[in-house]
Every structure is written in structure tokens, then in C-alpha cells.
Chains A and B, each alone.
Chain A
Amino acid sequence: MTRLLRATTLVSAALVSVGLALPVLADEEADLVVNGDLKMVTHAPAPAHLDGALSEVISGWVFRSDETQALQMDDFDNPGMVFVDKAMEVWNTVDGSEGKSCASCHNDPAESMKGVRAVYPKWNETANEVRTIAAQVNDCRENRMGAKPWKYEGDDMAEMEALIALQSRGMTVNVAIDGPVQSTWEQGKEIYYTRYGQLELSCANCHENNYGNMIRADHLSQGQINGFPAYRLKNTKLNTVHDRFKGCIRDTRAVPFKPGGPEFTALELYVASRGNGLSVEGPSVRN
């Protein structure tokens, strides 16, 4: 409760400053240390599979204003943490026809979910497909709990993803791109470089060729997803990866793909792999 109150006050303060302020350039040299002791890797050598397209990979945190950066440095200030508490209750709550909760199978997430965020999306041998965390959560809900799947990019899902991401916070993103996932990865790469919509813009136009530049009042980052789900001051909730993809494609005056569908799953795998070497940061704070 105290946490909730404190976070809410801080957010409204931050919103006021976002509303009034000029686009404040970030301190790109700042270090991200959470709660005074968890040091994040925000700059890493680009993975070899990028073939020199980037010289280094950089967390989106680096491009945010000092105020927004600060919100992610202390869990009492991070408005996303309230939703982790909420998801922890859901974790322990029975739902569906089988009389089970997440905890029935996975016990304490601090142990069972440690390392998960760092390696997803990944190949699921039994299902013979690439799974995102959200797809896996809904598979558990439907097939093990007999419960209704959550809306792919809805609040319940975003909050559960935050709980799961938190268990890997500070670990290094290390998504596999070879073996059975390779063709999906290639598909994601093709989507990344396709110029969609009437504005004919690709992800790469903004996030590979122009990161660090302003596009109107927005400071472009590399569009990394190591910080997801992300609490956005703009809509005061946690946002999922596919929701962000949807927004970025819409902004090219295009028709986005469906959240949870094969195209965004492939794109998520590809974009996640571009962040190999960075730290898992979710839930992060963004404007």
C-alpha cells in the first residue's frame, strides 16, 4: 500500500514534468544500478549475427531523460513494481476447471522462473514451435489449469510477464537463433528490414540508422526489448512487446500484425536476439 501510494505520487510528478519539459536529452554515460547494488549492462558489444549493422547494443534506458531514468533505479520509485505485487497474488490464485494456480506447478517464481526471461522466445520441443513467454503462459492457463487464456497484450498478461521478467533481472539476454528456431529468426529479420505503410519505414530506419537522433520530440533508441514489459508514463500501465510493435507499425501508416501471431512472434525472437549481451531489465520505465 505504501509502495502504491508512493509510486502514484511520483508518477504524477513525472507526468507533469513530461508535459511541460522540453525533450530532455539523456545522460548517455549514466550507469544503471538498481536499488544501489544491481548493476545492469546497458552497453554491450553487438552480437556477431548483426554482421556489423551496429557497433554496440544499447539499452533503451540510456536514451530516456534523467527523471525517467531515475524511476527505474529504485524499486520504490518504479511504478511497474506495483503490478508485480498484483501478479504475485494472481500467481497464487486458483483459476479454471483443474483447481490449479501457477504456484501449483511452479512453486516459488524466484526459483522456477529464474533465467526464463533471458532466453525467450525459444523453441518448444513438444509443441514444435517458437514460444514467447506470453504464449507459454496462455498454454499453461488453457491446457494445465483449464482456465481462459488472457488477452495476449492485455493487462493481466503484462503484469504476469513483469513478475516473470523480474526473476531474471540483471541476467544477460541470451536468446538462441540457430537450430529449430533459425527459419523463424530469418522471418523476423526480414520483417525488421521491411518498409511498411504509406510512410515506407522499417524498424531499421528508425532504430538502427537513427538511434540517438530526435524524431520530433522523441529521442530514438535502438528499440531493444530487454526492458519489457515497460511501464510507460504516457499510459500509466505496463506495456507488452507486441503492443509496442503494434504502435510502431501503426505509426508508419500501416496495418500492424496481430499480437501473438506468427509474424510478431518471429519479430520478437529477432529483436530479442539483437539485445543479446544486455541485461534483463523488466519491468522498465519509459516515457
Chain B
Amino acid sequence: MKKLMITAVAISALGAGVAMADGVVAPGDVKFEDGAVAMSLTGVPGDPSKASELMDRKFGNCIACHQISALDLPFPGEIGPPLDGAGSRWTEAQLRGIVSNAKMTFEDSMMPAFYKTEGYIRPGVAFTSKAPEGPLDPLLTAQQVEDVVAFLMTLKE
């Protein structure tokens, strides 16, 4: 039943012409169902070996708020829960939803939305204090979200 529903969502998303030409779902077109995102943002399987870099300061900076024992990153923060075991607590679709926009799962969450580009107040270009001239890039690219999700799925209890 669940599978059927997910397929239906994926098909209707495609039907609406949501996927971009290169098969990447644009940030504004991501379909959330109870916080979860069933369809891959790229159709390309994520590479969990990228996580160590992606979860560090230069990219997602997940480590600023979360402890991740599987990665050798110093000084993890304690704002959010440790991510150990996340792959047992959540489905892949739920994790994709949480990483893309955690506020769709946790109301008013402090966790930033990593695959979103609009709706900000006084957004700047990274840490330059300058207003963007064109559209903002999401904090992580679609494929980087898939890589992080693939890694989170390996964190079993």
C-alpha cells in the first residue's frame, strides 16, 4: 500500500513536468508527504563515502549540531540529537525529507533546510554579508543531499 502511494506520487511528479531536463528535481519542486520525500532528487544513487566531507564545515556542517560517531570529525555540537542509528529510526524517504527541509518533519526546527532556495529574510551570499544578485544556490546540491542520505542509511542501530 505504502509502495503504491509512493509510486503514485513519483508518477504525478513526473507527469507535472517537475523533474528538470537533466533528471534533477529543482528545490522548489520537491514533493513532501508528511515530511518525507519519496523520489530521489537526481535518480543517481547516493555515494555514502562523500559524507565525511559533506557533513563537515565547508558543506552541510551537520557536525556543528550533531554527533556522528562513524565519522572522524572533531568537536561535534550538541544542538541536535546524535545521528548514530538514524538509518534504523527513519526510512530513506524520511531522511531525504529531513535533510532537504527539516521543518516539514519537525515544526519550527532549528535545523536549516539544505535543499531550498527561497523564503529567507535578508539572505546573504554564504558568509560575505552581501545580498545575492541572482537566485541563491541551495546549501547542498541535489546529488549532495542524495550522498548524505545514502550515508545516513548506513547508520544502523
Q: Is the CB of A215 within 8 A of B79?
A: yes
Q: What residues of chain B lie closer than 8 Å to A194, measured between beta carbons?
A: 121
Q: Is the CB of B122 within 8 A of A210?
A: no
A196-B122, A217-B75 known; 16 new pairs, CB 8 Å cut-off, are: A22-B75, A200-B113, A201-B110, A205-B110, A210-B79, A210-B110, A214-B75, A215-B77, A216-B64, A216-B75, A216-B77, A249-B122, A250-B129, A254-B120, A254-B124, A254-B129
In the complex, A156 has a CB within 8 A of chain B: no
Q: In angstroms, how far is the closest chain A Cβ from the Cβ of B97?
A: 17
Chain A contact patch, size range: 20 to 34
Interface positions, chain B 41-90, Cβ under 8 Å from A, are 57, 61, 63-65, 74-79
Give the CA-CA distance A213 to B110 in the complex, in Å.
Answer: 14
Task: Decide: A253 near B64, CB < 8 A? Known: A198-B139, A199-B112.
Answer: no
Q: Is the CB of B77 within 8 A of A213?
A: yes
Give the CA-CA distance A255 to B110 in the complex, in Å.
Answer: 19
In the complex, A66 has a CB within 8 A of chain B: no
- The A contact surface, by secondary structure, is loop
Q: What residues of chain B lie closer than 8 Å to A22, measured between beta carbons?
A: 75
Q: Is the CB of A200 within 8 A of B79?
A: no
In the complex, A12 has a CB within 8 A of chain B: no
Q: In angstroms, how far is the closest chain B Cβ from the Cβ of A234?
A: 15
Residue among A22, A200, A214, A215 with max Cβ neighbours from chain B (10 Å): A200
Give the CA-CA distance A196 to B121 in the complex, in Å.
Answer: 5
In the complex, B123 has a CB within 8 A of chain A: yes
Give the CA-CA distance A210 to B63 in the complex, in Å.
Answer: 16
Q: Is the CB of B112 within 8 A of A198?
A: yes
Q: What residues of chain B lie closer than 8 Å to A249, measured between beta carbons?
A: 122
Q: How many residues of B contact A (CB 8 A)?
A: 27
In the complex, B20 has a CB within 8 A of chain A: no
Q: Is the CB of A198 within 8 A of B123?
A: yes
27 contacts across the A-B interface (CB closer than 8 A): A196-B120, A196-B122, A197-B120, A198-B112, A198-B136, A199-B112, A200-B113, A201-B110, A213-B77, A213-B78, A214-B76, A214-B77, A214-B78, A214-B79, A215-B64, A215-B79, A216-B61, A216-B75, A246-B129, A249-B122, A250-B124, A250-B129, A253-B123, A254-B120, A254-B124, A255-B122, A255-B129
In the complex, A256 has a CB within 8 A of chain B: yes
Q: What residues of chain A lie closer than 8 Å to B110, measured between beta carbons?
A: 201, 205, 209-210
Give the CA-CA distance A253 to B139 in the complex, in Å.
Answer: 10
In the complex, A142 has a CB within 8 A of chain B: no
Which of chain B's residues has its CB closest to A23's CB?
B75
Q: In angstroms, how far is the closest chain A Cβ from the Cβ of B148?
A: 17
Give the CA-CA distance A146 to B63 in the complex, in Å.
Answer: 52
Q: What residues of chain B lie closer than 8 Å to A256, measured between beta carbons?
A: 129
A241-276 vs B, CB cutoff 8 Å, 1 = contact: the mask equals 000001001110111100000000000000000000
Which of chain A's residues has its CB closest to B130's CB?
A255
Give the CA-CA distance A194 to B120 in the complex, in Å.
Answer: 11
Q: What residues of chain A lie closer than 8 Å to B11, measured between beta carbons?
A: none
Q: What residues of chain A lie closer than 8 Å to B8, measured between beta carbons?
A: none
Give the CA-CA distance A200 to B121 in the complex, in Å.
Answer: 8
In-complex Cβ contact of A197 among B65, B79, B124 (8 A): B124
Which of chain B's residues has its CB closest to A213's CB?
B78
Q: What residues of chain A lie closer than 8 Å to B14, measured between beta carbons?
A: none
Q: What residues of chain A lie closer than 8 Å to B74, measured between beta carbons?
A: 217
In the complex, A189 has a CB within 8 A of chain B: no
Q: In angstroms, how far is the closest chain A Cβ from the Cβ of B66?
A: 10
Q: What residues of chain A lie closer than 8 Å to B124, measured between beta carbons?
A: 197-198, 250, 253-255
In the complex, A195 has a CB within 8 A of chain B: yes
Q: In angstroms, how far is the closest chain A Cβ from the Cβ of B137?
A: 9
Give the CA-CA distance A201 to B65 in the complex, in Å.
Answer: 13
Which of chain B's residues has its CB closest to A251's CB?
B127
Q: What residues of chain B lie closer than 8 Å to A215, measured between beta carbons?
A: 64-65, 77, 79
Q: Is the CB of A195 within 8 A of B64?
A: no
A-B complex: 5 closest residue pairs judged by Cβ atoms: A217-B75, A216-B64, A255-B124, A199-B112, A254-B122
